[in-house]
Chains A and B, each alone.
Chain A
Amino acid sequence: MTAVIEVKDLYKTYPDGTEAVRGISFEVGEGEFFGFLGPNGAGKSTTIKILITLLRATGGTARVFGHDVAADPNLIRRLIGYSAQEVGVDDELTGRENLQLQGRLYHMDPPTLRRRIDELLELVDLAVDADRIAGSYSGGMRKRLDLATGLIHRPQLLFLDEPTTGLDPQNRAGIWSYLEDLNKRERLTIFLTTHYLEEADRLCDRLAIIDHGQIIASGSPAGLKAELGGGIINLTFKGDAAQTERDRRSAAALLEGSPYVRGVSESGSTLVVTATEGGRSLPRIVRALDEAGLYVDEMTLTSPTLDDVFLKYTGERIREDAPVQNWRNQRFMRPGMGPRAGRRP
């Protein structure tokens, strides 16, 4: 496998001392759909900004197509495309004009650019609305236009920073199918960051789970979930808060270490039990709890999700619905640029 991205011991410490990225290493192969999954503030955006030459690392190396990103940023910029969480289109220009502007900045010759624009408008289903002002587009359309501007120069590697944040489920699914198309049909290597489990699960060939600036697990979504074994059993207990808390503790102690249980963790008032054999572990767990006199209020058996993987490694759930931090104003800050300099994106 040819490595398109090679990152080794990457560190980024902001001037205020925030360690956004703490020793990350990974590789992305040609044609791969690779994802960074983690909660807001985990260091995903910082890593992507280093790779797309908008930020400088404070330690380690990052190579894209074999070139050090810090050494020759302009070369890297010609090879990569980027689409961010914020939609970077000019609302006063039409869809076509946005694409023209972007293409001219890559010095594409006019006939090639014209053809490429028509092709991209077709690809993202904006041909009909191409000559309308982008400000009149819906959120999903603007996002699609933004995606197209990032592809204008036929990049060989596409970076997507939280590409569907703020979109409704229908538009999100739409973007997903465009991305799958690009990856599968056009063989475009894609690096994506997301805090949506479903997105990572559906799109990525391989992903790294990142939290507090470190990669805590990596592998294919299926592989990561398989590590969790046969099933996830969620238990809640009867009674008032104190009672359920006591029962939850006792149950955790009881189940921890039993042969049919791989791990136990708590999520809110729920006890999350990772079973070795799913359905077959269930009756044993019920029996054990019953014998101990612990009264279960509700019990569900589910297949493991990436959230369970995250829970296993961090002891927390990904806060998928947490409001997105408003870091736009800080993001652009560089060392010594004022009172808010270097806040963690």
Chain B
Amino acid sequence: MSEDTITAPGAAMPVPAGALPRGVPKLASETATLYVRQMKRLSRQPTIIVFSLVQPLIWLVLFGQMFSRIARFPGAAQQFGNVSYLQFFIPTVMLQSVLFGAGQSGVGMITDIDSGFLDKLLTTPINRLAILLGRILGDLTRMTLQIVLVVLIGWAIGGFQTPHISFYYGIGGVLGALAIAMLFALVLMGFNVFIALTTRSTEATFLLGNFLTLPLLFTSSAQLPIALLPHWMQMVARVNPVTYTINSMRVLLNGPAAATDHSVGVTILLALAILLGLATVTMTFATRRFRSAVA
């Protein structure tokens, strides 16, 4: 190597040994690697799961008791689908876990940005989309775990009262309701990731998340059947996607008696259509923002 000869650009320059996989297999492998990271993190922080259960449990116990007699009032029972209030309320608590759990997607994103971990990922030759996909899949898994626990605990509490909690379509119905809840989670995660990448602030993401989620829950059929809401709130509830989500979950858990507005099939299809549409919108926004952020 002589001191003063500089090779022409591109001449005799090293190229990486071996070839990387391409396209979908590459994306899948990278997504899996980042998904495994999320799962390891989750397994190391069991307290996160425990603490995330505290609030849904308080709701389950407090609301479950507070309104337990309402569901038995003559004339009202039918609106509740002829089940105990606790059973009526379980889908609400499932969704509530999702509402709070989805916020952590955005927060996790910011943590990775602030810690420098994301830059580290970005200097590797990975498909940028894998970062987003790994996070979404990881968070969906976490929320599934939370919801399963909520349902189990609700079912256990129901064991102390009569009638016991019983799921009309059995385990299949529970899985269906879980799937709807996950679709709802996708909508929220898209929204949260978008907000997180726009504000770059954990606090703002948390605040905006809570600012929207509680009113959304309270202006839907989450606490009471729509027919028992005041008139103005009924109008709000009818345009609130949470109502359609909850109603379809109730039908899947509690059977045809819960289908007070539409038939069983229409209730479920309506929720699917609304949630798929919304998820497409929020995820498109999140992906676009993410792509421009890591371009």
If A79-B16, A329-B114 touch, does A334 touch B292 (CB 8 Å cutoff)? yes
**Chain B interface residues toward A at CB < 8 A:** 1-16, 20-21, 26, 29-30, 33-34, 36-37, 40-41, 44-45, 113-126, 197-201, 289, 292-293, 295
Closest B residue to A27 using CB positions? B6
The reply to whether A334 and B295 contact each other, CB–CB distance below 8 Å, is: yes
If A6-B9, A107-B20, A133-B44 touch, does A156 touch B117 (CB 8 Å cutoff)? no
Q: Does A287 contact B (CB under 8 A)?
A: no
The reply to whether A93 and B40 contact each other, CB–CB distance below 8 Å, is: yes
Closest A residue to B7 using CB positions? A2
The 11 sampled A-B contact pairs (Cβ below 8 Å) are: A1-B4, A67-B10, A84-B119, A92-B40, A93-B44, A105-B124, A107-B26, A107-B29, A133-B44, A338-B198, A338-B199
Known: A66-B10, A104-B33, A149-B120. 4 other contacts (CB 8 A): A66-B7, A82-B123, A88-B116, A93-B44
**Chain A interface residues toward B at CB < 8 A:** 1-3, 6, 27, 30-31, 52-54, 56, 63, 65-67, 74-75, 77-80, 82, 84-93, 97, 101-102, 104-107, 133, 149-150, 156, 328-329, 331-334, 336-338, 340
The reply to whether A1 and B5 contact each other, CB–CB distance below 8 Å, is: yes
A84, B7: Cα distance in complex, Å: 30
Main secondary structure, interface of A, reads loop
A183, B123: Cα distance in complex, Å: 21
A150, B199: Cα distance in complex, Å: 29
What's the minimum C-beta distance from B175 to chain A, rounded to whole angstroms?
30
What's the minimum C-beta distance from B72 to chain A, rounded to whole angstroms?
48
Closest A residue to B21 using CB positions? A107
A97, B13: Cα distance in complex, Å: 32
A67, B21: Cα distance in complex, Å: 21
A89, B67: Cα distance in complex, Å: 49
Partner of B125, one of A74, A133, A149, A331: A74
Query: Which chain A positions have C-beta within 8 A of B200?
Result: 329, 332-333, 338, 340
If A6-B9, A105-B124 touch, does A92 touch B44 (CB 8 Å cutoff)? yes
The reply to whether A90 and B41 contact each other, CB–CB distance below 8 Å, is: yes
Query: Which chain A positions have C-beta within 8 A of B2?
Result: 1
Query: Which chain A positions have C-beta within 8 A of B119?
Result: 54, 82, 84, 86, 88, 331-332
